Structure 1
Amino acid sequence: MFQIIGLVLLFGLVFGSFIISGGNIGVILHALPHEMMAIGGAGVASFLIANSMPVIKASGGGLSKVFSGPKWKPTDYRDLLALLFLLTKTMKSKGVIALESHIENPTESTIFSRFPRIMKDHFAVDFICDTLRMMTMNLEDPHQVEDAMEKQLEKHHHEALAPGHALQSLADALPALGIVAAVLGVIKTMGAITEPPEILGEMIGSALVGTFLGVFLAYGMVGPMATRMMAVVEEEGSFYRIIQSVLVAHLHGNAAQISVEIGRGSVPSGAQPSFLELEEALSAIPNEG
């Protein structure tokens, strides 16, 4: 919502101030198609040259996050803590054998199936199951497990941030590409130097539209979108940090409820359930038969 409001304000105030101050918007509109073709075309081309196909595809999906925000809502964090509570409680009370059927085939697990939104996130499910699988193989050193989880998180986080970095690189290039378009306009103007001043003035104005567009797109649109995209990725990454916190706390010998309480501390403030809310959510979970 705020992103849409921001875009409306961006266009309204920038072009509105130009018109109110006596600027001729017709000059910009006349130059816009070919200047946009030069700058936008060069931007898209450089984006394709600089990035791999997975990053290009992920960038398209990442743009939707600019407007929709993080996919994890407060209820999802409560569900994650409840899921981890059930898994660690099962491991403590029934042993690793009782847990194997859940982590080997989570799609048919009576525990995982209670949380369909989490099940849609393949990395979250794999991250939980792979870590618990290490524990069932007698890897019970908390520091070794934490280190292994940290490496997985770093890899995932690096890959998730790639589209945002790619978009930021495009934003950094746009002002220079705007200058390229402006220089082409100046070259065109110099080729018509014998024309009357009013025609030369219009041609120079059209050339300067290229510089304006490059800076406007870079700092008004593409750059802020890249920043927002990376901020969303950072917030979504905290979801996986909670998994690490809870499972490492479990390895340190804490009770399931203590482990998830430690994990609750890693939940972003805007989505963090209170101690009482978490306790009520855990109490409402039916006993695993």
Structure 2
Amino acid sequence: MNLILGIVVVFGCVLGGFAVHGGQLGALWQPSELLIIGGAAVGAMIIANPFSVTKKIAAGIPALLKGSPYNRDHYLALFSVMYELLSIARKEGMMGLERVIEEPEKSDLFKKRPLILKDHHAVEFIQDYLRLIISGDMDQHQLEALMDLEIETHHHSGEEPAQALNKVSDAMPGFGIVAAVLGIVNTMGALGGPPEEIGIKVAAALVGTFLGILLAYGLLGPMSTAMERRARDETAFYTAIKTCIMGFLQGHPPQIAIEFGRKSTPADLRPSFKDLEAQLRGKKA
């Protein structure tokens, strides 16, 4: 929603202001300039990045239309899952977790929280570290260091598409200049012709510079920032999982361990204490 609203505001104000000053919107429609700028941008992105990153960018742009999935409901679902898992570990021992985490898609615990069950990476993260705890081969300091390393690696991977798109955004004004220069070259061939024809060609060349700057600062730059924010939200989600697990390993009861996780949640996404308490009481009943 933010992406669509932002695009409408940016292009609506720019084009509306141009029209108010008596500009003809049709003069801005220059397919050849768009082909030069857009084609050069896509080609440069392909040269600079492995295909895996290019695919992530292609998948990440449509995902911005949906907004970040990590909202308060997602966190409440996470804390409910973690509370029940840690409660099982406390009552039945760590071995009691095996029947739940080995096939989460068949477990009622996960089925009741489809937001978490659909988040395959988060489920895998929970599975991996609970398995390590069950094995007993690592102490809590080693486990925390390993979780930090995985979260950092995952965050770096999540930021790659945003960084790549940001570099393309930085290059867009330059590609706009390339389009403008080619337009001027084309104009030179029309010298001696009717002034109207020369004016049209010069205008088309200037549109190239305009498009390069507008697309850089009005579209691609903000989109890369939004993708970076999405990666940070995902990292915060994994950090909350880690904090819950570490709180339990430090000897705290499940509800206190979950409160540790809640406190690690970003303020704008953090469920209130009362909401979390009501959620957990509902699960107890």
C-alpha deviation, 1:286, in angstroms: 4.5
Q: Deviations over 1:29-81 (max 9, x none)?
A: 3xx11111111111122222222222222222211232221112312211111
Q: Which runs of 5+ in 1 are unaligned?
A: none
Q: Which amino acid aligns with 1:117?
A: L
In structure 2, what is the equivalent of residue 27 of structure 1? 27
| Amino acid across the alignment from 1:73 | N
Aligned counterpart, 1:225: 223
* Aligned position for 1:94: 92
Distance 1:70 1:121, change over 3 A: same
Moved over 3 A (4+): none
Seen in structure 2, the aligned counterparts of structure 1 residues 139 and 259 have a Cα distance that, compared at 3 Å, is: farther
Residue 161, structure 1, aligned to residue 163, structure 2? no
- Report the counterpart of residue 200 of structure 1 in structure 2: 198
- When structure 1 is superposed on structure 2, of 248-257 and 94-103 the one drifting more is 94-103
Per-residue CA deviation, residues 103-161 of structure 1 (Å, 9 max, x unaligned), is 22222233233322211111111111111111112145222111100111111111122
The unaligned stretches of length 5 or more in structure 2 are: none
Preserved CA contact (<8 Å) 1:184 1:207: yes
Q: Give the alignment partner of residue 186 of structure 2, picking from 167, 183, 188.
A: 188
Counterpart residue type for residue 269 of structure 1: A
Q: Residue in 1 aligned with 2:107?
A: 109
Aligned-pair CA distance for 1:217: 0.6
Distance 2:73 2:26 in 1: 51
Count of residue pairs brought into register by the alignment: 285
Against the structure 1 CA distance between its residues 154 and 19, is the aligned structure 2 distance closer, same or farther, given a 3 Å change threshold?
same
Q: Does residue 67 in structure 1 map to residue 65 in structure 2? A: yes
Q: Report which stretch shifted further, 34-43 or 11-20.
A: 11-20
Q: Percent identity?
A: 41
Aligned 8 A contact 2:173 2:216 in 1 = yes
- Which runs of structure 2 are paired with 1:44-63 in the superposition (5 Å)? 44-63=42-61
1:285 alignment partner, SS class: helix
CA root-mean-square deviation: 1.7
Local SS of the residue matching 1:193: coil
Q: CA separation in 1, counterparts of 2:246 and 2:203?
A: 63
Greater CA drift, 175-184 or 86-95: 86-95
Q: 2:149 aligns with which of 135, 138, 151?
A: 151
Measured after TM superposition, the shift of residue 168 of structure 1 is 1.1
Matched residue, 1:254: 252
* Contact persistence 2:2–2:67 (CA under 8 A): no
TM-score by length of 2: 0.93
